[in-house]
Amino acid sequence: MTDTFQSSSPIYSQLADRINRKILRGELQPGDKLPSVREMAIQSNVNPNTVQRTYRELEGMNIVETKRGQGTFVTENQEILTEMRERLKEEEISQFVKGMYDMGYADEEIEVGLNKFLQEKKGDSEQ
Amino acid sequence: MTDTFQSSSPIYSQLADRINRKILRGELQPGDKLPSVREMAIQSNVNPNTVQRTYRELEGMNIVETKRGQGTFVTENQEILTEMRERLKEEEISQFVKGMYDMGYADEEIEVGLNKFLQEKKGDSEQ
Amino acid sequence: MTDTFQSSSPIYSQLADRINRKILRGELQPGDKLPSVREMAIQSNVNPNTVQRTYRELEGMNIVETKRGQGTFVTENQEILTEMRERLKEEEISQFVKGMYDMGYADEEIEVGLNKFLQEKKGDSEQ
Amino acid sequence: MTDTFQSSSPIYSQLADRINRKILRGELQPGDKLPSVREMAIQSNVNPNTVQRTYRELEGMNIVETKRGQGTFVTENQEILTEMRERLKEEEISQFVKGMYDMGYADEEIEVGLNKFLQEKKGDSEQ
DNA sequence: GTGGTCTAGACCACA
DNA sequence: GTGGTCTAGACCACG
**DSSP strand pairing (A71-74 vs B71-74):** unpaired
Q: What is the percent of chain A with per-residue pLDDT over 90, rounded to a whole number?
A: 50
Same domain, C40 and C52: yes
Instruction: Count interface pairs C-D at CB distance under 8 A.
Output: 86
CATH number, domain with residue D50: 1.10.10.10
Whether D64 is covered by a domain: the verdict is yes
Same domain, D95 and D55: no
Same domain, B18 and B40: yes
Number of domain units in chain C: 2
Whether B45 is covered by a domain: the verdict is yes
| Residue D27, pLDDT score | 87
| All residues at 6 or more sequence positions from A15 whose CB lies less than 8 Å from its CB, including other chains | A5, A44, A46, A50, A51, A54
| Residue B60, pLDDT score | 92
Angstrom distance (rounded) from CA A6 to CA D29:
75
Q: Residue C96: what are its φ and ψ, rounded to 5°?
A: -60, -50
Same domain, C120 and C66: no
Same domain, B21 and B66: yes
Q: What is the percent of chain A with per-residue pLDDT over 70, rounded to a whole number?
A: 92
**DSSP strand pairing (B64-67 vs B71-74):** antiparallel
pLDDT tier, B1 (very low <50, low <70, confident <90, very high otherwise):
very low
Whether B22 is covered by a domain: the verdict is yes
Q: Which helix H or strand E contains C53, and what residues bound it?
A: helix C48-60
Whether C36 is covered by a domain: the verdict is yes
Whether C2 is covered by a domain: the verdict is no
Same domain, A95 and A116: yes
For chain C, list the contacting chains (3+ Cβ pairs, <8 Å): D
**Of A51, A58, A42, residue with least CA distance to A1:** A42
Whether C3 is covered by a domain: the verdict is no
Angle between helices D107-126 and D78-102 (to 10 degrees): 120
Among candidate residues D42, D61, D76, the one where a domain is terminated: D76
* pLDDT, tens digit (0-9, with 9 covering 90-100), for A26-80: 889 999 999 999 999 888 878 899 999 999 999 999 999 998 889 999 999 989 9
Among candidate residues B58, B76, B94, the one where a domain is terminated: B76
- Could you list the residue range(s) of the whole structural domain that residue D112 is in? 79-126
Same domain, C63 and C83: no
Same domain, C113 and C97: yes
| Residue C1, pLDDT score | 43
Interchain touch D–A (≥3 Cβ pairs closer than 8 Å): no
Within 7 A of a protein CB, which nucleotides of strand F? 1-10, 13-15
| Residue C121, pLDDT score | 84
Distance from CA of A101 to the nearest CA of B (A): 9
* pLDDT, tens digit (0-9, with 9 covering 90-100), for D4-36: 666 567 888 888 988 988 888 888 999 999 999
Whether D104 is covered by a domain: the verdict is yes
Which residue lies nearest F7, CA-to-C1' measured? C47
Separation in Å: E4 C1' and C65 CA: 14
Whether D6 is covered by a domain: the verdict is no
| All residues at 6 or more sequence positions from C51 whose CB lies less than 8 Å from its CB, including other chains | C12, C15, C37, C38, C40, C41, C44
What is the CB-side half-sphere exposure of residue C58 using CA atoms within 13 A?
Answer: 29
Same domain, B22 and B62: yes
Same domain, C52 and C72: yes
Separation in Å: E2 C1' and D82 CA: 59
Same domain, D72 and D87: no
Same domain, D63 and D103: no
| Residue D122, pLDDT score | 79
Interchain touch C–A (≥3 Cβ pairs closer than 8 Å): no
